[in-house]
Structure 1
Amino acid sequence: MADFTHLDQKGNLFMVDVGEKPYTERIAIAKAEVVFPEEVYPKVLSQDIPKGDFLACAKVAGILAAKKTSELIPLCHPLPITKVDLQFKFIPEKFSIEIEGMVKTVGQTGVEMEALTAVSIAALTIYDMCKSLDKRIKITNVRLVYKTGGKSGEVVLEKSV
């Protein structure tokens, strides 16, 4: 069990002590995609959605989610987040919106979970605001694409970053 960072020798779960780790700047970038049925995508592109500005709402939801990650993920440390940014890119050939979320802190542990939570909640918010158009909307491909800081240094998981 010693190979698992959140389990003791008896297999009991615990929160890792990061108190001895050095403070470093830490950045994480995650992405998610929201895919729409082809026939409703023109409404999405024109942002003609009955509930209003779904992208602004999704951006605020993603930012709030990043700030509350430690309340949602049981063993996640609360962090002093210094920046959260979400960007939305329409990809017409896939009938989708790609969400990219960046989270930054200066701390003793990384912000990967915060970035993943931000894009996940932004995607759920887009779904919620657009579901009246069609229930077949899909949330896909939630993933970490970049991180830097701490012991592992820079990790590039997608070249697009």
Structure 2
Amino acid sequence: MSDHGYQGLNHFDAGGAARMVDISGKDDTVRVAVARGEVLMQPGTLELIDRGGVAKGDVLGVARVAGIMAAKETGRLIPMAHPITLTGVNVDFRLQRPGRVQIQARVRTTGKTGVEMEALTAVTVAGLTIYDMCKAVDREMVLGQVRLVHKTGGKSGTFEREGEQIWDT
């Protein structure tokens, strides 16, 4: 058995028991993660969002705040994620006709562990918020394609998903 835990997964000890990885020996580095996802919807739903016609209010404004809040709560939501201090969170949207809202979250910290989970959580909760606010007019919406597109910092270095450009925010 390697020092990396059960079957190469570092959230398990040599016996297979779940554990939070000890990061106390790691160096603090600047870490950035960017995640992306999307909500597919009827064209009319996208038009309602775009013109501010959803009865519950400013869909993208509320979804942005929900995504930021979710990033800050990731350590409480994901059992083996470390609670970390975030130095920046941005959640942005792109509307694509006929019926797609793309979501991008960029999360930053200086610390001992990465912020990939925080970025992925921000995207997911922002998407769920869009669904919640629009479900009265479109129950067929689909949240999907949630993925890490970029990360920097730490021993593993930089990751760039091929074919994906980070949006300027």
Distance in 2 separating the partners of 1:40 and 1:30 = 24
Q: Determine whether 1:98 maps to 2:92.
A: no
Structure 1 residue 160 displacement after superposition:
1.3
Other-structure match for 2:139: 135
**In 2: Cα distance, 1:100 partner to 1:143 partner:** 10
| SS of 1:52 mapped into structure 2 | coil
1:2 is displaced (CA, Å) by 5.4
| TM-score in terms of structure 1 length | 0.95
Larger displacement relative to structure 2 (23-32 or 41-50): 41-50
- Give the number of equivalent residue pairs: 160
* In 1: Cα distance, 2:7 partner to 2:26 partner: 19
Deviations 1:2-48 (A, max 9, x none): 52211111111111000000000000000110111234332233231
- Provide structure 2 residue ranges, at least 5 long, that are not aligned to the other structure: 1-5
Three-state SS of the structure 1 residue aligned to 2:8 is coil
Write out per-residue CA displacement over residues 82-130 of structure 1, whole angstroms, 9 at most, x where no aligned residue. Answer: 000011100114x111000000000000000000000100000010001
**Aligned counterparts of 2:65 and 2:79: Cα–Cα separation in 1:** 23
Matches of 2:94 and 2:7, distance apart in 1: 42
- Aligned with 1:149 (options 125, 150, 153): 153
Q: Does 1:30 align with 2:35?
A: yes
Structure 1 vs Structure 2 CA RMSD = 1.1
Aligned to 2:3: none
Identify the range of structure 1 (102-111 vs 31-40) with the bigger mean alpha-carbon deviation.
Answer: 31-40
Trace 1:4-153 onto structure 2 (pairs within 5 A). Answer: 4-93=9-98, 95-153=99-157
1:32-66 per-residue CA deviation (whole Å, 9 max, x = no partner) reads 10111234332233231111101110011000000
> What letter matches 1:75 in structure 2?
M
**Pairwise CA distance, 1:78:** 0.6
Contact 2:46 2:95 in 1 (8 A): no
Contact 1:34–1:96 (CA under 8 A) maintained in structure 2: yes
Give TM-score scaled by structure 2 length. 0.91
Once residues 7 and 55 of structure 2 are traced to their aligned partners in structure 1, the CA distance between those partners, rounded to angstroms, is: 53
Dislocated runs of 4+, deviation >3 Å? none
